[in-house]
């Protein structure tokens, strides 16, 4: 859906030296104005609902189990390759730290929005 703006609409107090560029801008920008899709609100609210749905109990347990199994399997594989426990635990801790940093970065985005609100 589009609409047009009247190209002759001009403020009455325009200085004479600006009239030319004003007319040129009006003419060159006299193209249809876009509008949002008709179903935009519905699509957005669907997205909002999907994004705000909390993880259910089953998903939480599955995610935690996946995390524990990953750590155990990684430790076993690394030990199997002859690495000592220091290196194995260092690698695992570094991976977990990466996850924590990602979470912090995510929260920093929230803080930015909070500052924007002030």
Partner 1 sequence: MALALAENDAQLVERAQSGDEPAFAELVRRHSALVFRLAVSILGREFIPEAEDVTQEVFLKVHHAIGSFRGESEFRSWIYRITFNQAVNLKARVRFRSPHADESVLHDVATSEPGADRQMEVVQRDRALAECIQTLPEVYQSALRLHYWLGAGVGEVAELLGVPQNTAKSYLYRARQLLHGMLKEKGHSCD
The DSSP annotation for 10-61 comes to --TT--HHHHHHHHHHHHHT-SPEE---TTHHHHHHHHHHHHHPPPPHHHHH
Site for partner 1 in 39-78 (CB under 8 A): 40-41, 43-45, 47-49, 51-52
> Per CB under 8 A, which region of 3-11, 64-72, 74-82, 83-91 contacts partner 1?
3-11
59, 31 in Cβ contact below 8 A?
A: no
Q: What is the DSSP letter of 2?
A: E
Nearer CB in complex with partner 1: 50/80: 50
**Site track for partner 1 across 14-33, x = CB under 8 A:** ---xx-xxxxxxx-xx-x-x
Q: 57 near 74, Cβ under 8 Å?
A: no
How many residues belong to the site for partner 1 (CB under 8 A)? 37
Phi, psi angle pair for 49, to nearest 5°: -60, -45
Query: Footprint of partner 1 on this chain (CB under 8 A)?
Result: 5-6, 9, 11, 17-18, 20-26, 28-29, 31, 33-37, 40-41, 43-45, 47-49, 51-52, 110, 113-114, 116-118
């Amino acid at each position: 859906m589009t609409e047009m703006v009247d190209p002759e609409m001009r403020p009455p107090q325009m200085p004479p030296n600006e009239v030319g560029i004003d007319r040129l801008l009006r003419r060159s920008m006299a193209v249809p104005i876009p509008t949002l899709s008709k179903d935009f609100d519905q699509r957005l609210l669907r997205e909002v609902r999907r994004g705000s749905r909390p993880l259910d109990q089953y998903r939480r347990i599955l995610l935690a189990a996946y995390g524990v199994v990953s750590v155990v399997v990684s430790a076993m594989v690394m030990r199997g390759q002859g690495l000592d426990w220091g290196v194995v635990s260092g690698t695992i801790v570094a991976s977990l730290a990466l996850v924590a940093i990602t979470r912090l970065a995510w929260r920093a985005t929230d803080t930015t929005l909070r500052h924007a609100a002030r």
